[in-house]
């Protein structure tokens, strides 16, 4: 994976205020917001059944 891809993904997640500064004490709540942010910033081009490289 290229460095700029990771930096761009982190920059997209940094837009969410609740992820920049961790206000939640519980890990499950923070994980839920992280999952929501990832699903919002996920590229829409992936089709069902398409293999994800990683």
Per-block mean pLDDT, blocks of 10 residues, the chain (54 long): 80 84 87 87 58 53
Residue 52: the pLDDT is 52
SS3 44: coil
Residue 28: the pLDDT is 92
Best CA proximity match to 10, nearest among 36, 49, 50, 37 = 37
Residue 38: the pLDDT is 84
Sign of the torsion formed by the C-alpha atoms of 16, 19, 20 and 22: positive
Distance in angstroms (rounded) separating the CA atoms of residues 36 and 13? 10
18 within 8 A of 33, measured Cβ to Cβ: yes
Upper half-sphere CA count for residue 34 (Cβ side, 13 Å) = 13
Residue 53: the pLDDT is 56
pTM of the predicted model, to two decimals?
0.60
Residue 51: the pLDDT is 55
């Amino acid at each position: 994976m290229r460095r700029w891809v990771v930096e761009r993904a982190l920059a997209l997640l940094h837009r969410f205020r609740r992820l920049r500064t961790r206000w939640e004490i519980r890990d499950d709540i923070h994980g839920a917001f992280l999952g929501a942010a990832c699903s919002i910033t996920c590229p829409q081009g992936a089709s069902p059944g398409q293999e994800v490289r990683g």
